[in-house]
Structure 1
């Protein structure tokens, strides 16, 4: 817990670790900033602190044009909190309010709209409409300043219901008209991409081990759906994949960090090609979850680094993240495919299903040709197409049917414990599969897999007992960051060849 005195010290020291955790509004100027804003530190008496940008905007403050507080990483709280507010923020970030309204958001969470409004306002100083509005304003600024899209197209792509609403919101939040906001960036820095392409930066806090992320995703890349290719800069690798989004499909490219730049650079370069620009905020949020960009690596590494077993790994590779996923249903299918086989075998099986039941893109892009099959398509697929034992075929078909019918939910607003119980009730779904899905599909930062063969090998390599009971006891000291500990054990030292490891479910 932090109080206003701690917040002010963070502002005075321009501590970027708190960017996105809170926002500082200055009464003498009428603007709000991120804690690391390079401007002269305001007097303590003139500072007001808010838990969200929407709350600062609701109090009448406009965004600082120097530090761009609307472009900071999200609060790491929304990664690990499992209460109503945390679940609501994950859904708002995915665009549920824009698509389904407050009633749709409340229905997903199992609360009334009034209860939801009261809870969010009490904790964040803003209700779901204001929080979604702040998100739309940030998207509008991004489009205005990085593309040559007509202003009217920007308004609707950002999720506004009318041009008037768009103009009013931009003026209120940025103290600029949309055309004035666009004029702040030279025309030469904007990219004319009428087909829906965008170049943007994905912000993160602290250190980031992008090599681990790219290695992890490359090892599991499904042919036709994902690929890792050399980047435009020497030594940089680029992760590319197709996206199934609410309004259409997309292709995403994310570059790893250049080898000549520090891990604390602060952003990853990203390019998006979208069939419908209304999918921009959702696509960005899902990529942020995939790369775990809203995490607080300082807090994670501080705790795990003090452990005698994991400490050397943390000091060698700071900033290691726990990758999520862009589509929890896809990940659930792939988790079942990976039961009791190597990662390479699971990838091959997933590629065959994608070829048979996936949706082809209108035009291939490099090695990307397919959208991964939906759960509904696989639920009615011919079992003979599943090259696996009969028990796992039944498990996969049953899981896909449960996902397609809504019996099991894996979206960001679901209660993780309830989702785990629903999964365990399905035939052929065991603790390893449930834990893996909690860790990646539900972005739970505190999951441990004591029976995992990669965890066992990682512990024994470090001289610690690798049997499940001993591993579980050792992991108690790693809470609430046990998911990160699992990835530490899987990754091992920086010189480890990760392609030789596998993750299997104990028989």
Structure 2
């Protein structure tokens, strides 16, 4: 898109581009999402930025009305397999907060200077600035949805000091942390109150979330598929169709979590709750839920391309916004893809880490690969690093490494690539997928599977 096209998107308040770019107004010092409902600024006063971090680096603060930090992520990072795309997926997963820029660069196989240069050239911000913008969003979420002390929130969001936290919040939101909290005071628990449910579960208070998506979202299909494949002990789907809730346990860098995501919602988002043993895992947990439900996709681009194909046009028309689900835990998905559901349930019971206190039907966290290494070749390959499925893994390298593992055939490797690595363009062996459906063949597979499931159930 050129700048004039972007300005037309701003003039029409086109929500399809929320998260794809941001615009700032020189006369107000504010940056917004394209669909911001405020009066359209004059073209001469508008500046465009590829990321919120770039707008912040330009000296602009977030709009209080449209909350540009709460938009879906750019679909570009799901599609791109280059170093910038991989870096953005890892930053979203919290790698910079946990390992710093050197850790990010090492995972990418580049020097820190090369990573800085490439990200700055394309995105207008380096990895530190991008991670900082993400930390600020996490902090705002905690300030406005929990009653945790401000000091606890600063470190939970990933800031190195309370001073750094205060300075960042003031710069990005033009308010103090206390002022941000005051905006949502009626939704907060009483000061000093113990986190709800903590005495029974050992978890901090549940953090309510609205997981935003762009465009239409065909909700039934992912919830149907999750319900059919749910592994007892770590997952369950409750409720009637249309009002279901998917719950699961998560193994995260600093602890564990229980996540609940609702099928029903009144807006362009999925309602969710996260109960974490360590709030430092909030950003990572949110990103993993987003990948599981494919919330950063661009359904307009997918449906336009696939809907032009005669074989798929009726399916796309029947299910606009059908997503290609990813994985909340890529290593878990790989093991489950190899051994199947029944064996996965046995592994959970035999090797899974028990929750301190069960929560309904949720009793365990899926076992780590090292716990299964002696029993399963794929787990051994994951444990020793010969197969990498983290957010920044190279997709081609990962698929080739999987094919070298005993018990992993071409279809299983491709399925793991599609789900665990979120590749939108996988031609699954055995499916009638055509090259003409590039670059969205994973979505074509989902349409074929969903139609087949419907026909089988009739």
**Normalized against structure 1, the TM-score is what?**
0.86
2:358 aligned residue (340, 355, 364): 364
Does residue 108 in structure 1 map to residue 110 in structure 2? no
- Using the TM superposition, give the Cα deviation of residue 172 of structure 1 relative to its aligned residue in structure 2, in angstroms: 0.5
CA distance in 2: counterparts of 1:306 and 1:366, whole angstroms:
45
Does residue 307 in structure 1 map to residue 286 in structure 2? no
Q: Match of 1:49?
A: 48
Q: Match of 2:28?
A: 29
Does residue 230 in structure 1 map to residue 239 in structure 2? yes
- Using the TM superposition, give the Cα deviation of residue 426 of structure 1 relative to its aligned residue in structure 2, in angstroms: 1.9
Deviations 1:147-180 (A, max 9, x none): 1111111101101111000000000000000001
The gaps in structure 1 that reach 5 residues or longer are 338-345, 382-396, 456-470, 501-507
CA distance in 1: counterparts of 2:418 and 2:336, whole angstroms:
14
CA distance in 2: counterparts of 1:313 and 1:421, whole angstroms:
32
Q: Match of 1:66?
A: 65
Q: Match of 1:134?
A: 133
Whether contact under 8 Å (1:196, 1:276) holds in the other structure is no
Whether contact under 8 Å (1:145, 1:190) holds in the other structure is no
CA distance in 2: counterparts of 1:244 and 1:354, whole angstroms:
13
Whether contact under 8 Å (2:236, 2:248) holds in the other structure is yes
CA distance in 1: counterparts of 2:57 and 2:343, whole angstroms:
50
Q: Match of 2:334?
A: 332
Report the 3-state secondary structure (helix = DSSP H, G, I; strand = E; otherwise coil) of the residue aligned with 2:364. strand
CA distance in 1: counterparts of 2:183 and 2:150, whole angstroms:
15
- Using the TM superposition, give the Cα deviation of residue 380 of structure 1 relative to its aligned residue in structure 2, in angstroms: 2.3
Whether contact under 8 Å (1:317, 1:494) holds in the other structure is no
Q: Match of 2:439?
A: 480
Which range is displaced more, 105-114 or 189-198? Answer: 189-198
Q: Match of 2:255?
A: 248
Matched length: 448
Which range is displaced more, 485-494 or 430-439? Answer: 485-494
Report the 3-state secondary structure (helix = DSSP H, G, I; strand = E; otherwise coil) of the residue aligned with 2:260. strand
Does residue 269 in structure 1 map to residue 271 in structure 2? yes
Does residue 492 in structure 1 map to residue 451 in structure 2? yes
Whether contact under 8 Å (2:143, 2:181) holds in the other structure is yes
Report the 3-state secondary structure (helix = DSSP H, G, I; strand = E; otherwise coil) of the residue aligned with 2:446. helix
CA distance in 1: counterparts of 2:185 and 2:287, whole angstroms:
27
The gaps in structure 2 that reach 5 residues or longer are 196-203
CA distance in 2: counterparts of 1:374 and 1:203, whole angstroms:
30
1:402 aligned residue (381, 387, 410): 381
Does residue 183 in structure 1 map to residue 182 in structure 2? yes
CA distance in 1: counterparts of 2:428 and 2:112, whole angstroms:
37
Whether contact under 8 Å (1:24, 1:49) holds in the other structure is yes
Which range is displaced more, 367-376 or 185-194? Answer: 185-194
> 1:83 and 1:207, CA in 2 relative to 1: closer, same or farther beyond 3 A?
same
Deviations 1:452-500 (A, max 9, x none): xxx4xxxxxxxxxxxxxxx34xx111100000000000000795456x9
1:203 aligned residue (196, 201, 212): 212
1:414 aligned residue (372, 383, 393): 393
CA distance in 1: counterparts of 2:64 and 2:40, whole angstroms:
16
CA distance in 2: counterparts of 1:113 and 1:409, whole angstroms:
21
Q: Match of 1:374?
A: 368
> 1:100 and 1:34, CA in 2 relative to 1: closer, same or farther beyond 3 A?
same
Deviations 1:379-409 (A, max 9, x none): 124xxxxxxxxxxxxxxx2211111011110
Does residue 214 in structure 1 map to residue 173 in structure 2? no
Q: Match of 2:408?
A: 429
- Using the TM superposition, give the Cα deviation of residue 189 of structure 1 relative to its aligned residue in structure 2, in angstroms: 5.6
Q: Match of 2:170?
A: 171
> 1:95 and 1:41, CA in 2 relative to 1: closer, same or farther beyond 3 A?
same
> 1:235 and 1:443, CA in 2 relative to 1: closer, same or farther beyond 3 A?
closer
- Using the TM superposition, give the Cα deviation of residue 186 of structure 1 relative to its aligned residue in structure 2, in angstroms: 3.4
Whether contact under 8 Å (1:4, 1:49) holds in the other structure is yes
Report the 3-state secondary structure (helix = DSSP H, G, I; strand = E; otherwise coil) of the residue aligned with 2:238. strand
> 1:426 and 1:481, CA in 2 relative to 1: closer, same or farther beyond 3 A?
same
Does residue 447 in structure 1 map to residue 426 in structure 2? yes
Report the 3-state secondary structure (helix = DSSP H, G, I; strand = E; otherwise coil) of the residue aligned with 2:34. coil
CA distance in 2: counterparts of 1:354 and 1:272, whole angstroms:
21
Q: Cα RMSD over matched residues?
A: 1.5
Whether contact under 8 Å (2:24, 2:48) holds in the other structure is yes
CA distance in 2: counterparts of 1:196 and 1:103, whole angstroms:
33
Report the 3-state secondary structure (helix = DSSP H, G, I; strand = E; otherwise coil) of the residue aligned with 1:492. helix
Whether contact under 8 Å (1:301, 1:314) holds in the other structure is yes
Whether contact under 8 Å (1:34, 1:67) holds in the other structure is yes
**Normalized against structure 2, the TM-score is what?**
0.95
